């Protein structure tokens, strides 16, 4: 069976880590790339997910995902031995890795997952890594140990102060940028609103900043244009021109609006799914 699930582990209330067989993707994937998956080959929605790790021996990739809608809720229900409908990739341009000097890596919530392989690749290229990990609360904080291993300095925060420092990632980011010498490069991956404010922060200090965008997509090969964003006034497609862009040029406000395109329909599907699940429970 292709796309067999090797493990599907709960990292926190709504965050899961799935190792799944995809030998062709595992072989050619590079840091920063993503896949499109569907739970059901025939009826499932295609959703883009970043690859947060790879096991070349097993021919598997690691997907870390948050249960936010029907598709991810279905994924969360799968276990070892089950399979995904399909996986296609790797998609997007790989991250440009070079020795910048000091790089500050900001990961918000689930954004820590795609950030990890990039931080590892940057470390390997000889950069000094300062990582800032933020989450709403301790429960949602993931990959702290992995980041500790790859970082020269790690700052952990929660919005509610339940773990680490209390506050938003932009505060320590500002402090790090105020140091002398300032960091040479920044990468921010997380919710759009977080990336937006990180970019505003680093812009003040003229620290070049890269972001990774995760917009709505259908095919992932440039054919549909659903993922289009405005970068420095020009239309770009996240799937073939990205997913990483110069964060100082991204029109985040527009992107956030586009990401909400199916909010109502998606919520309805998710509610239906959850109700359906409950009914099954009652019958048992």
Partner 1 sequence: MTNSEKLLQQLIEKQNAGELKAKDRYAIPCQDMPAQNGGQRRGNMKEVALGYTKIQARLEAMRCLQCKNAPCVEGCPVRIRIRDFVVAIAEGKDEEALAIVKENSLLPAVCGRVSPQEVQCQERCTVGKKFKDPEKSVSIGRLERYVADLAKSDSDIPKVASPTGKKVAIIGSGPGGIVVAADIRRAGHEVTVFEAFHKPGGVLVYGIPEFRLPKSIVQEEIDVLKKMGVEIVCNFIVGRTRTVKELMEEDGYDAVYIGVGAGLPKFMNIEGEHLVGVYSANEYLTRANLMKAYEFGRGADTPIAVSKNVAVLGGGNVAMDSARMAVRLGAENVYLVYRRSEKEMPARIEEVHHAKEEGVQFCTLQNPKRILGNEQGNVTGMECLRYELGELDDSGRRRPVAIDGSEFVMDVDTVIVAIGNGANPLIEQTTPDLEFNKWGNIVVDENCKTSVDAVYAGGDIVLGSATVILAMGQGRMAAAAMNRYLAE
Nearest to 106 by CA among 55, 44, 148, 156: 156
Dihedral of alpha carbons 35, 196, 14, 64, sign: positive
DSSP 250: B
Q: How far is the CB of 31 from partner 1 (least distance, A)?
A: 15
82 versus 230: smaller Cβ distance to partner 1: 230
262 versus 278: smaller Cβ distance to partner 1: 262
Q: How far is the CB of 202 from partner 1 (least distance, A)?
A: 25
DSSP 114: H
Are 66 and 76 spatial neighbours (Cβ–Cβ below 8 Å)?
no
Q: How far is the CB of 70 from partner 1 (least distance, A)?
A: 6
178 versus 221: smaller Cβ distance to partner 1: 221
- β-bridge mates for residue 107, sequence order: 133, 189
Nearest to 37 by CA among 77, 110, 91: 91
Are 173 and 132 spatial neighbours (Cβ–Cβ below 8 Å)?
yes
146 versus 241: smaller Cβ distance to partner 1: 241
Q: Are strands 209-212 and 244-246 parallel, antiparallel or unpaired?
A: antiparallel
Q: What burial class does residue 136 get, using C-beta atoms within 10 Å of its C-beta: 0-12 exposed, 13-18 middle, 19+ buried?
A: middle
Q: Residue 207, SS3?
A: coil
2 versus 161: smaller Cβ distance to partner 1: 2
Measured in degrees and rounded to the nearest 5, phi and psi for residue 88 equal -130, 140
Q: How far is the CB of 224 from partner 1 (least distance, A)?
A: 4
Q: How far is the CB of 147 from partner 1 (least distance, A)?
A: 28
Structure tokens at 127: 């950069």
Burial letters 56-67, b for 16+ CB under 10 A, else e: eeebbbbbbbbb
Q: How far is the CB of 47 from partner 1 (least distance, A)?
A: 9
41 versus 160: smaller Cβ distance to partner 1: 41
- β-bridge mates for residue 155, sequence order: 132
179 versus 276: smaller Cβ distance to partner 1: 276
* Residues near partner 1 (CB under 8 A): 24-25, 28, 38, 40-41, 43-46, 70-71, 85-91, 93, 218-226, 228-230, 235, 237, 240, 254, 257-258, 260-262, 265-266, 268-269, 272
Q: How far is the CB of 114 from partner 1 (least distance, A)?
A: 17
């Amino acid at each position: 069976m292709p796309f067999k699930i090797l493990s599907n582990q709960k990292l926190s209330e709504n965050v899961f880590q799935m190792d799944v067989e995809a030998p062709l993707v595992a072989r050619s994937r590079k840091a920063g790339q993503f896949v499109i998956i569907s739970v059901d080959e025939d009826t499932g929605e295609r959703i883009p997910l970043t690859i947060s790790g790879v096991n070349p021996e097993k021919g598997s990739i690691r997907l870390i995902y948050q249960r936010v809608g029907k598709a991810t809720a279905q994924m969360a229900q799968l276990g070892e031995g089950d399979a995904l409908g399909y996986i296609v990739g790797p998609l997007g341009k790989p991250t440009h890795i070079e020795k910048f000097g000091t790089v500050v890596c900001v990961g918000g919530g689930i954004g820590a997952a795609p950030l990890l392989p990039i931080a590892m690749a940057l470390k390997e290229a000889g950069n000094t890594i300062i990582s800032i990990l933020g989450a709403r609360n301790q429960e949602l904080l993931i990959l702290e140990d992995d980041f500790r291993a790859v970082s020269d300095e790690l700052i952990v925060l929660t919005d509610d102060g339940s773990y680490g420092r209390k506050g938003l990632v932009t505060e320590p980011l500002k402090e790090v940028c105020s140091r002398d010498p300032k960091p040479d490069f920044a990468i921010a991956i997380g919710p759009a609103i977080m990336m937006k404010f990180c970019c505003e922060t680093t812009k003040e200090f003229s620290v070049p900043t890269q972001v990774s965008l995760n917009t709505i997509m259908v095919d992932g090969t440039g054919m549909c244009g659903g993922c289009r964003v405005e970068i420095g006034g020009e239309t770009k497609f996240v799937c073939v021109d990205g997913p990483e862009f110069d964060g100082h040029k991204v029109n985040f406000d527009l992107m956030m609006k586009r990401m909400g395109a199916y909010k109502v329909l998606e919520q309805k599907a998710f509610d239906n799914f959850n109700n359906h699940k409950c009914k099954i429970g009652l019958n048992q």
